[in-house]
Amino acid sequence: MMTTSLRLRAGLVSLVLLAAFLGIWHLATRSTAQVTTMSPEYAKLMGLTATQGKSAMPGPLDVGAKLWEHLKRPFYDNGPNDKGLGIQLGYSIARVGTGYLLAVLVAIPLGFLIGMSPLLSKALDPFIQVLKPISPLAWMPLALYTIKDSSISAIFVIFICSIWPMLLNTVFGVATVRKEWINVARTLEVGTVRRAFTVILPAAAPTILTGMRISIGIAWLVIVAAEMLVGGTGIGYFVWNEWNNLSITNVIIAILLIGIVGMLLDQILARFTRMVTFPE
């Protein structure tokens, strides 16, 4: 009873905040600038910002109308440089998915090995520490130069940025499995492989999944920037293309969608994390 009323109240506050935000936005972007008089033939050649004092920043109504337009036909294809938002998001998710899965395939087994061996763990630590803080986009020129293919470069950048949190968390999770459990397994003469899968993996799983959750967030952050650089397809390219046309309305819509997709990806991994978490 208590929780439902709390939820209800929280929802109400959210709605009020949203309404207030939209209201302030609307008021702030109303055309207020005074308009200088100009001859009609001159005015015909000028944009609305100059002729009607329309704010360069679109209001919520403009964005809403444009969003509706996009939602009505999300999968249109007008050639290589103009595709619907659904297609663009599809490209971005496919790139993130590929790069991310490759990273999972490398990071988790590698993290397991490093975590189980204190020697390797210490020896590799300096390398990981140096590579981890590098901005993924800093890899871009190097990737373009060596891989010589922009779409594979984008996937590589996703791969390289999502590998570190997973690797570190796996190492940490594996290394900090409670000694008692391992000792019990030893006493029962459980083999190394079996020990890894039946004791260490379940024990480390929540930490590993937390790493995976951090990684997917970073990967989604990076794909937008990477696509703005390499162009062609994807939601990042869409932002860049609309920025080219100074269409802030479309940029805002893209921002909104990027946020929603990012949230969904995070929620999916949050659900997985809950599935493997155990009470101690």
Q: Should residue 23 be labelled a site residue for another protein when binding is judged by CB under 8 A?
A: no
Tokens of 243: 């920025």
Q: For another protein, which is the closer residue by CB, 21 or 42? A: 42
Residue 83 — φ and ψ, nearest 5°?
-125, 160
Q: Contacting another protein (CB under 8 A), which of 106, 196, 229, 269?
A: 229
- The window from 72-80, 168-176, 217-225, 257-265 that contacts another protein (CB under 8 A) reads 72-80
Amino acid, single-letter form, for residue 196: A
| Nearest to another protein of 27, 38 (CB atom) | 38
CB of 55 to another protein, least distance (A): 11
CB of 49 to another protein, least distance (A): 5
104-to-166, 212, 229 alpha-carbon distances in Å: 7, 8, 25
CA dist 200 to 27, 112, 211, 225, Å?
57, 9, 16, 37
What is the DSSP code (8-state) at residue 202?
A: H
Across 192-219, b (16+ Cβ under 10 Å) vs e yields: eeebbeebbbebbbbbbbbbbbbbbbbb
Tokens matching residue 96: 């993130």
Whether 29 contacts 59, CB under 8 Å: yes
Distance CA 183, CA 74 (A): 57
- Please select the residue that binds another protein; options are 93, 108, 240, 262, rule is CB under 8 A: 240
Name which position in 230, 239, 252, 254 contacts another protein (CB under 8 A). 230
Q: Which stretch binds another protein (CB under 8 A): 47-55, 107-115, 126-134, 188-196?
A: 47-55
CA–chain centroid gap for 259, Å, is 8
Report, in Å, the least distance between residue 131 CB and another protein: 24
Stretch that binds another protein, among 24-32, 76-84, 102-110, 159-167 (CB under 8 A): 76-84
The count of other CB atoms within 10 Å of the CB of residue 186 is 11
Question: Within 121-150, which residues bind another protein (CB under 8 A)?
Answer: 144-145, 148-150
32 binds another protein (CB under 8 A): no
Per CB under 8 A, does 45 bind another protein? yes
- What are the residues binding another protein (CB under 8 A)? 36, 38-39, 41-42, 44-47, 49-50, 56, 78-82, 144-145, 148-150, 228-232, 240-246
